Chains A and B, each alone.
Chain A
Amino acid sequence: MWSFILRRLLYNIPVYLGIIMLVMALLRVRNPVYAYLGKNADQKQIEEFEKSFGLKDPFIVQYGRFLWNGARLDFGESWKYKGTTVREKLLGAIPPSLSITVPALVLTSLLSITVGLLSAFNRGRLLDRLLVIAAVLGMSISFLVYIIFGQFFGAALPRNVFGDDWPLAIVGYGAWYRMSSVDIFGLTIPVPDALTWVKFCLLPVLISVIVAMGYDTRFYRAVMVEECNRDYIITARAKGAPKSKIMFVHMLKNAMIPIITRIMTTLPFLITGSILLEMYFNIPGMGRTLITAITDMDYPMIQGFTAVIALLYILSIILTDVLYALVDPRVRLS
């Protein structure tokens, strides 16, 4: 297995280098310095800035420097946040994203697998039809609508009625983060304080779950419907195995490959976060940090974030292959 992992890693090196090169090249199509230095900058200042940040060097030199420094996890200093390294920003942005995406993924997966199983097991019946309609409806509405409605009906309106007694806040992630975090090796980690988490994070998680459930339920239902027709299910039924055992033991176990594929493909998103949720709920996670870096033309940040996100994607693909082999002995890594 290790040789497989090593081989896949080696195969992916050129892909990774290509991604970095492409991103760096695209960023250099336009000169960001004019906007960065603002309305009062003169030509000399512009040139000095370009020189001090190595923007005058040939592209290949800049590329090599970025790779060399990146290998040591040194992505330089943010242009916008003086005195703050990209690494610091990266590490700081991961926990806020995880505090939303991990609970959302766990909840979504559990719920949608269960609903998918139920739906498949009752396919063609009223329950199945209702669940399918609900899933399609859920998918058809824009994420933004969920967020706006969620903030209004889930927080603003009830807070107008119940005041501070209403447990879900409109925004305020910072308040939770501020009151309950510890610094470990320079990484600010929110202390798992479940109750303040409820106040500031539950609403975005619920919205995320509602949005994702539509897609996931339909997917898992399709997988389970296929499994329902397999011989082993018919045999289990014939032998009089209880319905719950057939669903949650036999079917679920055999449907693990598509389930793993589905979950693994979402793993990088755990880190990258949800841009819309983070924007609307003021969550300083990866998605929002990257978007604001793009708006601010903070090149070191964009390059650093892209490098890490690309790496995560590649690693998650390799990890998926490894997990296949672990859950299904028929799959051989060769």
Chain B
Amino acid sequence: MINGTMRRMMTFAAVLSALVAAPSLAPAGAGSGDVAEKVLRLPMTTDGPKSLDPIVGSTTYENRCCSQIFDTLVQYKYLKRPFELEPALLAEMPVISEDGKVWHCTLKKGVRFQDDACFPGGKGREIVASDVFYSWKRAADPKYQFKSYWLLEDTIVGLDEFKEAQQQSGSFDYDAPVEGFRLINDHEFELVFKRPVQQFMWKLAMFQLSIVPREAVEKYGDRFNRHPVGSGPFMLENESDWQIGTSLVLKRNPNYRDEFYPSEAMPGDAEAGLTKAAGQKLPIADRIEITFFVESQPMWLKFEAGELDYTTVPETAYEEAFSRRSGNLKRPYEQRGITAHKVPLIDFIFRGFNMEDPLLGGYTNEKRALRKAICLALDWDEMNEAYYNGTALVYDGMIPHGLDGYPEDGHLPNAWRGPDLERARQFLAEAGYPDGQGLPVIDYYTSSGGTSERMAALTARQLAKVNIRINPRLVDFSTLMEAVDNKKAPFFSFAWGSDYPDAENNLALFYGPNEAPKPNHFNYKNAEYDRLYEKIRTMPPGPERTAIYIQMRDMVLEDCPYAGSMARIRHFLVNPWLLNFKPTETFYTWMKYLDVDDSKRPGGSSR
């Protein structure tokens, strides 16, 4: 029985909704012709991208958005794990010369940019080899503050010199030649490298190296980041479709190249229904509506109300969705057909030591012993329980889950994983500080805010058990980076998200020439390690390379320039009407594979 209040509420709702839904007020394009339109409604935490120009993009949010609008030369195979690459704009994978220094690339023919006023007649023209060179030269243009130049630095013959010369000239000449960019014809080109760089293949799939049309950049200038023109599966039809900080609406790009849903899959994919769409033309959806959420609460509520196709589970909602004891999705969600996916991120969360610090740095047995004592006093499982609901992945070594060199089940016998207070005390004595006597207070730099402050307190408490005292320096992130870059932080909390799924990216963190302010924040130096690193950069994947990865990992473990490690796990909840979704956060080109079954949505229609 409906009581009076409920009846009044329903009447109010009915009147307002009748007004809101009045046909004369419907937005443009919401006519009857759109009934069959497939719309993806996706969330994005934070206030979204700052720019839709790939060359200035650096965050995961820019990656997610740019990856829909722009295309790269190669891309990740959607269903394959471990990750593998396949041609995207290229007709085939680059053909590599015997010495590994020359890559011959052939573009697919007939692939066009999206239609835009920057092209004659507004029709998107065909992508040619010179577009690749133009797009990549932008990374060397000071106008873009070299945000993406690290991808090409010290790699392609003549590019560094080109950058210097252009910078000195004061005006950037995109037509000036670069020795390592060899144009053969409109569809073929060669890349000449200073040395064989195997990992460059991964970079070809990175959104920053997407291909952009020169006409658009020149026509829109600084507005190109608000008016992107690409050749990706979706496009920004109007600038107003991107409400900065609020929402982004992308529409299917009718010019998108012929690409079809893959049939190559992993065991279990067929059972999960991920292969049903094999052979279907991409993109499957007609429109993507991305909503940005600075706060996770409204995102969660919107998912609960069936207005989002999937969500990541905010920490605050973890126990609402999952059983704390078993980690399984709770029954009410299962009953609604919602599925849960746990995706380990390629994360390396650690506490770093500055190897040049007079107290903690150095390579003598005493110095190593002090660092090992600190490692053994730390309890990463407790941190995981306290701050990640026990869902993060604690592992040994610096190579994250899923990459060559990751230890089986995450454990290594030669790692210094705590808590082992007895051994910690022994090492402390070996270091010359029995029971911590005489050991000065260690400055520990970590960023302020969020869980960092509480984690610093826990770190201090754990270390205090063996009489190691730290002075937590809670600073803003910029100051933390400055202190680490200037080698002023003896002990610091940091994390590294791999740029691509190859352990080389993590091993580079300990390569001597990469010392701070470059990513070797530990200032770790080991000639043998450096020699091996230079060797693996040129090696193709295989058992031989993996063996060297392991050797390098163990060398670092022995010298102990960091304590750790841990990786976060992203929890996705997926509504039953979202099809073909195999969640990952390693690449973001997957929106073109997604489909929706509107009949399963609440009310049986788009909302």
Give, as a whole number of angstroms, the nearest-CB distance from A165 to chain B.
5
Give the chain A neighbours of B245 by CB distance below 8 A. 282, 284, 288-289, 292
- The residue on B at minimum CB distance from A29 is B479
Tell me the bound Cα distance from A199 to B17 in angstroms: 9
Give the chain A neighbours of B16 by CB distance below 8 A. 167-168, 198
Chain A residues bordering chain B, tally (CB within 8 A): 68
Give the chain B neighbours of A159 by CB distance below 8 A. 305-307
Once the chains bind, are B291 and A174 in contact (CB under 8 Å)?
yes
Give the chain B neighbours of A297 by CB distance below 8 A. 476, 478
B contact residues, range:
35 or more
Interface residues of A in 166-201 (CB under 8 A from B): 166-168, 170-175, 177-181, 188, 193, 195-196, 198-199
Give the chain B neighbours of A195 by CB distance below 8 A. 19-20, 22, 25
Q: Is A49 an interface residue (CB 8 A)?
A: yes
Give, as a whole number of angstroms, the nearest-CB distance from B61 to chain A.
12
Q: Is the interface of A mostly helix, strand, loop or mixed?
A: helix
Q: Is B243 an interface residue (CB 8 A)?
A: yes
- The residue on A at minimum CB distance from B292 is A282
* Partner pick for B293 among A162, A196, A282, CB 8 A cutoff: A282
Give, as a whole number of angstroms, the nearest-CB distance from A142 to chain B.
14
Tell me the bound Cα distance from A81 to B225 in angstroms: 8
Tell me the bound Cα distance from A168 to B20 in angstroms: 10
Given contacts A34-B478, A156-B304, A160-B305, contact A40 B150 (CB under 8 A): yes
Give the chain B neighbours of A175 by CB distance below 8 A. 247
Q: Is A48 an interface residue (CB 8 A)?
A: yes
Number of A-B contacts (CB under 8 A): 180
Binds A, one of B74-82, B129-137, B141-149, B427-435: B141-149
Give, as a whole number of angstroms, the nearest-CB distance from B588 to chain A.
18
- The residue on A at minimum CB distance from B478 is A35
Q: Is B116 an interface residue (CB 8 A)?
A: no
Q: Is A73 an interface residue (CB 8 A)?
A: no
Q: Is B244 an interface residue (CB 8 A)?
A: yes
Q: Is B211 an interface residue (CB 8 A)?
A: no
Best-surrounded residue of B47, B144, B304 (most CB of chain A within 10 A): B47
- The residue on A at minimum CB distance from B294 is A279
Q: Is B437 an interface residue (CB 8 A)?
A: no
Once the chains bind, are A166 and B478 in contact (CB under 8 Å)?
no
Q: Is B222 an interface residue (CB 8 A)?
A: yes
Tell me the bound Cα distance from A41 to B19 in angstroms: 54
Q: Is B517 an interface residue (CB 8 A)?
A: yes
* Partner pick for A30 among B27, B28, B476, CB 8 A cutoff: B476
Once the chains bind, are A171 and B302 in contact (CB under 8 Å)?
yes
Given contacts A178-B243, A282-B291, contact A52 B14 (CB under 8 A): no
Q: Is A83 an interface residue (CB 8 A)?
A: yes
Once the chains bind, are A35 and B477 in contact (CB under 8 Å)?
yes
Once the chains bind, are B292 and A163 in contact (CB under 8 Å)?
no
* Partner pick for B482 among A31, A39, A48, A156, CB 8 A cutoff: A31
Once the chains bind, are A288 and B294 in contact (CB under 8 Å)?
yes
Give the chain A neighbours of B243 by CB distance below 8 A. 173-174, 177-178, 284
Give the chain B neighbours of A42 by CB distance below 8 A. 517-518
Q: Is B603 an interface residue (CB 8 A)?
A: yes
Tell me the bound Cα distance from A117 to B293 in angstroms: 41
Give, as a whole number of angstroms, the nearest-CB distance from B50 to chain A.
4
Once the chains bind, are A35 and B481 in contact (CB under 8 Å)?
yes
Once the chains bind, are B302 and A177 in contact (CB under 8 Å)?
no
Q: Mark A18-40, 1 if CB is under 8 A from B, else 0.
A: 00000000000011111111111
- The residue on A at minimum CB distance from B497 is A39
Q: Mark A296-331, 1 if CB is under 8 A from B, else 0.
A: 110000000000000000000000000000000000
Once the chains bind, are B222 and A83 in contact (CB under 8 Å)?
yes
Q: Could you give 6 example pairs across A and B, Cβ below 8 Å?
A: A31-B478, A82-B222, A156-B305, A166-B13, A166-B17, A178-B249
In addition to A48-B146, A198-B19, A297-B476, 9 A-B residue pairs with Cβ atoms within 8 Å of each other are: A40-B519, A43-B517, A82-B53, A84-B222, A84-B226, A155-B301, A165-B14, A196-B25, A297-B478
The 8 closest A-B pairs by CB, nearest first: A83-B222, A35-B478, A174-B246, A167-B16, A174-B247, A174-B243, A179-B27, A34-B481
